[in-house]
Amino acid sequence: MTGYFRSIEIGNLQLEGNVFAASMAGYTDCITRSLALNEGAILAYTVMISAEALIRNSGRTLSMMKRADGEEILAVQLFGTSPQTLGRAAVLAAQNGADLLDLNAGCPVSKVTGKGAGAAMGRVIGRLALAVEEMGKAGLPVTVKIRSGWDDGEINWSEAAHAAVEAGASAIGFHPRTRRQGYGGRADWTALKIMSRELPVPVIGSGDLDSPVSVLRMFNETGCRAVMIARGAIGNPGIYSQTRKLLTNGIQETPQIPEERLKIARFHLKAAAEEFGDKRTAREIKKHLAGYIKGWPSAAELRRKLMTASDIPALMSLLNEGNQSRVRLRGNVQRDG
């Protein structure tokens, strides 16, 4: 059971572990990356950044590349349609401190694929390969995130992965679902196993990683070299430290108790407000806070209150209230026992 947490080489980068934080639109920012890294993730990809917006020198876009606290390797994920535009954006990312570049050829969202980017980029193998070549001119390692294909009638992950590697990709991130599946159904780990055997570069597995045990199972069943945890880390950054312990020495920790998760939630809220300001934070952080309380008996009522709270003090007060309620509940249970 031990020894699955290993060093990995991606291009000229030597990473001292193989558990990464995936990029998630609407969730990933420098605060969530810092939390993931502090909890034990080795690498945390930025939220996907529009290549076109980056070359227009958008201040908001540049801020998405801000290096997080504790972030030794800045992995910038780009999306776009034009290989030449992606190449220019890659150069700008390198000039702004990036250490690694990732091409998103897997996002299933219609507003992205409708423009020929994301999973739609993976449909046109020649364009995908050219994009990798153009991004590689920035002089940094390039990884590529792909899906199984567009739908069940258009499965092309093998062609896409091999073309990307031949064009210079240093690793392939693989979420073995089709674009049509989105995030539903089950990820096809059999395809991940085959890809891991076929490619001469590291394959980074993704899909259905919601616990340390599921990560261990993916390594066991597929032979992939690394993993990217996505939705399993929403409101649960402790999954990284728990996963590292399981992979390193077989220790399976119990999930964090609610008081511990609420403590992290309060830190997350405070850090986000300091970084992004109260107004933006109050608008954007509620989905994170809902993740921290997921699965509790009282979660539905607390989540409803969080979603209708209008400012940071109100959100913090609800988190404090939730913590006090959990403590009282635990005390009652102990006395009854």
- CA pair distance 108, 147, nearest whole angstrom: 9
Which DSSP symbol is given to 66? P
The encoded tokens of residue 158 equal 């093998």
- CA dihedral in degrees (302, 21, 205, 231; nearest 10)? 10
Listed residue (114, 116, 139, 115) closest to 128, CA to CA: 116
User: How remote is the C-alpha of 84 from its chain's centroid?
Assistant: 26
Q: Rounded to whole angstroms, how far apart are CA atoms 328 and 171?
A: 49
Token digits of residue 263? 């403590």
Rounded CA separation 209/242 (Å): 13
What phi and psi, each to the nearest 5 degrees, are found at residue 4? -85, -20
- Per the CB < 8 A criterion, the answer to whether 292 and 262 are in contact is yes
Q: What is the 3-state secondary structure (H, E, C) of 212-260?
A: HHHHHHHHHHHCCCEEEECHHHCCCCHHHHHHHHHHHHCCCCCCCCHHH
57: left (phi over 0), alpha (psi -120 to 50) or beta: left
Task: Give catalytic residues, as residue numbers.
Answer: 107
CA–CA separation, 47 and 30 (whole Å): 9
* 3-class DSSP state of 150: strand
Vertex 120 angle, CA 119 and 121, to 5° = 90
3-state secondary structure of 43: strand
CA dist 234 and 80 (Å) reads 26
